[in-house]
Amino acid sequence: MENKDKNTGKKKKTKKKKSEIVSIAELKNKIKHQRGALHKIIKNYLK
């Protein structure tokens, strides 16, 4: 029984890490998108 509890605790931790990685990837994507938008605005401004 103790082993099973440890396993569920481990699974919860990996789940948390996975969601953290997902949020980091989403943040990076958002930053990439914003950078692209900024680039377009700057290019249009320079025109």
Residue 34 Rama label (left phi>0; alpha psi -120 to 50; beta): alpha
DSSP code of 37?
A: H
Quick one: pLDDT at residue 3?
53
Quick one: pLDDT at residue 42?
82
Per-residue pLDDT band at 47 (split at 50, 70, 90): confident
DSSP H stretches of helix in the chain? 2-46
Domain boundaries, the chain: 1-47
Residues 5-43 have pLDDT tens digits of 565 556 555 566 667 777 878 888 887 878 888 888 888
Quick one: pLDDT at residue 16?
62
DSSP code of 1?
A: -
Quick one: pLDDT at residue 12?
59
Give the angle subtended at the CA of 38 by the CAs of 35 and 40, to the nearest 5°. Answer: 110
